[in-house]
Amino acid sequence: MTNLLHRADRLRADRTPFVLATVVRAERPTSAKAGDRALVLPDGTMEGFVGGTCAESTVRLQGLRLLETGESTLLRITPSGESAEREGLLTVANPCLSGGTLEIFLETMIPAPLVYVHGEAPVARALVDVARAVGWEGARGPADALPLDAAAVVVASHGRDEIEVLTAAVKAGVPYVALVASRKRAAAVLAELPLTDLEKARIHAPAGMDIGARTAPEVALSILAEIISRRPRQTAPPPGRIELPLLQPVRPVTQVAVAKDVVCAMDVAISPDALQYEHEGTMYYFCGSGCRRAFIDNPARYL
C-alpha cells in the first residue's frame, strides 16, 4: 500500500491524471476489504487491488468516465437490484459478483491548471507567482519545452521566439494563448504569424484585462483574471510536451471506448488491461474471467 501511495505521489509530480479508488466498505462475501486501494490511469490500466476482476472492470470503467469530468464519487457495486445514480453516489448492479457488496470512493486527481510563461520579463516572473498564489501551477521555460497540458501559454519575451511559441501553442489547441506587448507591437507580431485570421483571433494581444494595471504584478493579475474568465470545463489533460515545429494539431482527449459484455450485458472499458477474446475476427470484451470462460466454452450461445 505504501508503494501505491508513493506511485500516486510520482503521478502528481509528473502531472499525470489518475483516479484513486479506495474500498470504504465491504459486505461479505468479497475478496476486497476496507482500506484496499487501486489507481486507475488514463489508458485504463490499474495498479493495486479493489476486488476481483468483475469489481475491477466496473472501477476501471467508472474511473475513466470520471477522468473526463474531473469529478469524484462513491461507487456502490452490488450483485442485485438496479443501477442508479444520484448526487455523490453511483450504484452499479453487477450480477457477476460473488454475492457481496462493495462501496468504493473514486477520487479523481486532475493536475492543477498550468500557466506556462515563455520569457524573462518581470511580468513573466510575476505571472508565475500570481498563478501559484491562487492554487494553479505556474512555470517558466524555453520555447522547445511547451507542456501539452498547459491551460495557458503566455509569451513575455520581448521579441525572442515569439513567432515560434505563439504558432505552436495555437496549433496545439492551448485554451488560452497571449502575448505581452503594446498594442502597436502586438499588431506587428500577429501580422507575421503563419496562421489564418481565425487562428490569430485566438491570441490575446495585448494580454490581460483592462484593469488599469501599471506594475508587473498588476499586469500579471490582469492576465490571470482573463485566463480564469475564459477557462473551459476542466478535464484530464493529455500528458506530454508540444514538439516544435508543430505541423499538425494535437488531438484532444477522446471519450472512453466502451464494449458490451455479451455474456452478462455489463459495460466494459476497452483498455489494455481489459479481459478480451478474439472469435472469428472480432474482439469481445468481458467484465470478468467467468464471463470470458463461458463465452470461450460456447460462443454460439451468446451470439
Could you tell me the CA-to-CA distances from 97 to 28, 105, 299 in Å, in that order? 11, 18, 22
pLDDT tens profile 208-243? 999 998 999 999 999 999 999 886 554 455 555 555
The answer to whether the pTM exceeds 0.75 is: no
Q: What is the pLDDT of residue 240?
A: 57
pLDDT reading at 253 higher than 80: no
Q: How many other C-beta atoms can be found within 10 angstroms of the C-beta atom of residue 237?
A: 21
| Orientation of helix 122-133 relative to helix 216-230, angle to 10° | 50
pLDDT tens profile 19-46? 999 999 998 878 889 999 999 999 999 9
For the record, the C-alpha cell of 143 comes out as: 520555447
Q: What is the pLDDT of residue 252?
A: 39
- Residue in the structure block whose three cell numbers are 490582469: 222
pLDDT reading at 190 higher than 60: yes
What is the residue-averaged pLDDT of the chain?
87
CB 39 within 8 A of CB 48: yes
pLDDT tens profile 82-117? 788 888 899 988 877 667 899 999 999 998 899 999
Q: What is the pLDDT of residue 30?
A: 82
If pLDDT is split at 50, 70 and 90, which confidence band does 248 have?
very low
Q: What is the pLDDT of residue 230?
A: 82
pLDDT reading at 250 higher than 50: no
Report the distance separating Cα 108 and Cα 178, nearest Å.
Answer: 30
DSSP annotation string for 118-145:
ES-SHHHHHHHHHHHHTT-EEEE--GGG
pLDDT reading at 247 higher than 60: no
pLDDT reading at 249 higher than 70: no
| Orientation of helix 183-192 relative to helix 162-171, angle to 10° | 70
CB 179 within 8 A of CB 206: yes
User: Domains, the chain, ranges and CATH?
Assistant: 2-109 (no CATH), 114-230 (3.40.50.720), 258-302 (2.30.170)
pLDDT tens profile 131-152? 999 999 999 988 778 888 899 9
* DSSP code of residue 161: S
**Mean local confidence (pLDDT), 252-264:** 77
For the record, the C-alpha cell of 85 comes out as: 445514480
